[in-house]
Structure 1
Amino acid sequence: MSCNEHYKDDIVYITQLTRNVLSVLGVWPSSNRARSAGEKIVKFLLICVSYALLYCVLIPGILFWLMEKRTRIRIQTFPMLLYCFMATSKYGNLIFRENQVKRCLKHIEEDWKIVTSADARDTMIESARTGRRLVALCGAFMYGSGLSFRSILPFAKGKIINAQNITIKPLPCPGYFFSFNSQTSPTYEMIFAMQFLSGLVTYSITTGACGLAAVFVMHACGQLRILIDLMRRLVEDQWQEKQEVDRRLAEVVEHQIRIRNFLRLVEHTLQQICLIELMGCTIIVCNLGYCIIVEWERSNTIATCSYFMSLTSMLINVFMFCYTGEQLTTQAEKVAHTSCELEWYRLPDKKARGIVLVMIMSNLPTKITAGKIMDLSLKTFGDVVKTAVTYFNMLRNVTD
């Protein structure tokens, strides 16, 4: 076939989960057609509502943290504030990078459109299916642990009676509300509902960012697998026409350059988000570890389980980013090995020289970085865990 007639269905399949999440946030790029006035208004309203829900937790939380004098309470409050700040930063980055995200999606659409063989399409679908699984797993952990933290944990703490014999009903996120009495009805219920909805926005941002990384990087992995097949077919026949060799060699070079251009665009689009995720989650993990120890000593089983679920979701989220980067690096290494193992002597005279440039380009590093500071790899994930444990030990020594 001259082109993939089902490319539109394929695009819907690989982006469905991520598109649904980011569309609710108002940051999913529009299609090739221009947005209507109604669509622009809806997009603006979604962004305003999302920001309002984020700040209704962040600002009161910061005020509460600044006014609180007890070190242990400040430490327990810090992960929530940092995670909300991370979500706000990532959300702003998604809005600012919308055109670049759109270029990445356009590039993916073109790749699916120009597929000329069923085997290549199957390879791309296999990689896309892995990306969908990663997005679904990330969303399950984020929504499951996060929403339980904002709904189950407040009720698990129960009502608190302070020194003035006043009953205090805990909120999902502590905050300072100036002259508003957050304990009276219906003020308490309204604040509780807003903080719960803010959690939905926060976890949707994280899931959407992870989804973009999974979709983009796994698509690149599929293209690298196709590149390996193109390299092998280049030398599969001992006797080839001159024009046929030139055509196949040009196809390999063009495909290789196209992949590198795509990865350069992806890294430029997601490097800030990846950096925020890795650095922020490292700090949060060590704080959550401390909270687990505190609640364990108090024999608060429900709170301990809730904190443990949040800790697990943070580690899973970091692992998702690092795993996708590791898959890309592994596939790029396979391309480099394949280029070095090509049976160049099967090519006609003087045509084998073209393999040298392919080998040089194939051995150039192909990685996704977080802010050009650290590579996304399983080694980086291990470093994050070790760093979190080190900070956790330091935190215990300081507060004991």
Structure 2
Amino acid sequence: MNQLLRKGACGTVTELMDVITLFSCGCSLLTKLTVLMIHQNEMSIIVNSAVKDWFDIIDHESRSIMLRYAKIGRRVFISQAVCYISSALSILYTRFPPVEYIRSDPTNSSAIMIGVPLWPDCWTPTNISMNHYMFLFIFQSITLIVFDACYSNCDSFFFGMIMHLSGQFRVLSANFKYFSECSNNEYYTHQLVKLIERHQHLLTMANGFEDIYNLLILIHFGIAIMIICISGIILLISLQSSDFAIVVDMVCRIFLTYFQLFMYCYTGEQLRTEAMNVKNIIYNSPWFNMPLSTVKNMVFVIMRSDYPVSLTAGKIYEMNVPNFLAIVKTITSYFSVMRLAFKENH
């Protein structure tokens, strides 16, 4: 970003947008790693709880539920890794200098180079030696790949942990359903205590995860909106000038940013839905056949479930699918107004 302030906007629109995106995502990644390091004790409790869940599971139905949610997390991890690594490789491919040029002039100290992965061509000094240039290119290439891998893993870890918590709420709902079908009165008190303790444990884990990640989600939310808006303006300008190469680049950038935003909203929606489903299972159970003391205790479980379990952006904006659709609708309306303004200017 210091180079952008000193050198100015001398590169292409796509190159400058790459710089803004990398700088913004780099700040987001640094914040994520810092916050996770500060809360490493809390995160270790959540991770150890997840590991313990896999060791303690014994019945086939619960294992099937956990495997189903784990597969969702695995698919998201693979898709994200492929997208990030592909984008990094495409940048390296487009910026790599021709091999013939390197072989023909390996000691040139005044040639204008093709460019490096992390900034526009015009930011590279014209008097740089070939050896220095190749070292800079290799160093920035490794940095870009490591950056993409870390960013992808942070998001995949978040998604995987929320999917695991959602799966545990689904397992708890199944256990409450099985509990309601039992007719042994002595079973009720002992088993209900275990289910209530499990419910409280999951609520504690979910609220702890929200306390750690709400600031990170807010930063990610703001950066995503900024990238979408800037890319949308560039997209509208490129459509006016019929520069379809930039149009395709901006469309892909907007789509990937929307996908990241949707991932956070989907996980928040899934966690809230599964947590609320516990209340619905208890409410629809044959509670009228249970002992009065058990029914009273189950009422407290329902009351506790009325406090929503959700993911928020800085405890301001709830991350769920309806709010994601509202964001898309608002930004689309903004782009429509901008498009009309560009038409009038032309």
User: Which TM-score band applies after superposition, normalised by the shorter structure?
Assistant: 0.7 to 0.9
* AA at the equivalent of 1:63: Q
Matched, 1:282 2:222: no
What secondary structure does 2:294 align onto? Answer: coil
92, 95, 115: which one aligns with 2:37: 95
Matched, 1:254 2:197: yes
Q: Normalization by structure 1: what TM-score?
A: 0.71
Matched, 1:221 2:163: no
Q: Normalization by structure 2: what TM-score?
A: 0.81
The alignment yields a C-alpha RMSD, in angstroms, of 3.3
Q: What CA deviation, in whole Å up to 9, does each residue of 1:106-163 have, x standing for no partner?
A: 1111222222322212221211111111222222222223442x2245479xxxxxxx
Indicate the residue corresponding to 1:208 in structure 2: 153
Sort the Cα spacing of 1:317 and 1:375 in 2 relative to 1 into closer, same or farther, 3 A: same
- Using the alignment, how far apart are the partners of 1:144 and 1:182 within structure 2? 32
Matched, 1:312 2:255: yes
317, 320, 324: which one aligns with 1:377: 320
- Using the alignment, how far apart are the partners of 1:342 and 1:360 within structure 2? 16
Structure 2 unpaired stretches of 5+: 98-110
* AA at the equivalent of 2:84: M
1:390 Cα offset (Å)? 5.7
Matched, 1:355 2:295: no
1:224 Cα offset (Å)? 0.9
The within-5 A match list for 1:13-162 is 61-68=1-8, 76=17, 77-148=19-90, 150-154=91-95
What secondary structure does 2:119 align onto? Answer: coil
Q: Greater shift after overlay, 216-225 or 185-194?
A: 185-194
Sort the Cα spacing of 1:310 and 1:189 in 2 relative to 1 into closer, same or farther, 3 A: farther
Contact 1:138-1:207 at 8 Å conserved across structures: yes
Sort the Cα spacing of 1:182 and 1:293 in 2 relative to 1 into closer, same or farther, 3 A: farther
Q: What CA deviation, in whole Å up to 9, does each residue of 1:251-295 have, x standing for no partner?
A: 220111011011122112322222222111111112222333445
1:235 Cα offset (Å)? 2.2
Indicate the residue corresponding to 1:198 in structure 2: 143
Contact 1:153-1:302 at 8 Å conserved across structures: no
Sort the Cα spacing of 1:314 and 1:199 in 2 relative to 1 into closer, same or farther, 3 A: farther
1:195 Cα offset (Å)? 2.8
* AA at the equivalent of 1:207: S
Q: What CA deviation, in whole Å up to 9, does each residue of 1:350-390 have, x standing for no partner?
A: 43222211111222211122221222211232243345446
Contact 1:75-1:287 at 8 Å conserved across structures: no
**Percent same amino acid at aligned positions?**
20
1:98 Cα offset (Å)? 3.0
* AA at the equivalent of 2:234: C
Contact 2:176-2:282 at 8 Å conserved across structures: yes
* AA at the equivalent of 2:24: L
Indicate the residue corresponding to 1:240 in structure 2: 184
What secondary structure does 1:351 align onto? Answer: helix
Q: Greater shift after overlay, 287-296 or 355-364?
A: 287-296
Contact 1:79-1:288 at 8 Å conserved across structures: no
- Using the alignment, how far apart are the partners of 2:71 and 2:249 within structure 1? 31
- Using the alignment, how far apart are the partners of 2:230 and 2:140 within structure 1? 21
Contact 1:62-1:81 at 8 Å conserved across structures: no
Sort the Cα spacing of 1:122 and 1:326 in 2 relative to 1 into closer, same or farther, 3 A: same
Sort the Cα spacing of 1:80 and 1:386 in 2 relative to 1 into closer, same or farther, 3 A: farther
Q: What CA deviation, in whole Å up to 9, does each residue of 1:62-102 have, x standing for no partner?
A: 33235426799697453343233223322333333333322
- Using the alignment, how far apart are the partners of 1:392 and 1:198 within structure 2? 34
Contact 2:269-2:319 at 8 Å conserved across structures: yes
Q: Greater shift after overlay, 256-265 or 66-75?
A: 66-75
Q: Greater shift after overlay, 65-74 or 124-133?
A: 65-74
What secondary structure does 2:226 align onto? Answer: helix
1:333 Cα offset (Å)? 2.7
Q: What CA deviation, in whole Å up to 9, does each residue of 1:228-249 have, x standing for no partner?
A: 1222122213x423x2110121
What secondary structure does 1:173 align onto? Answer: coil
Matched, 1:269 2:212: yes
* AA at the equivalent of 1:209: C
Structure with the bigger percentage of helix:
2
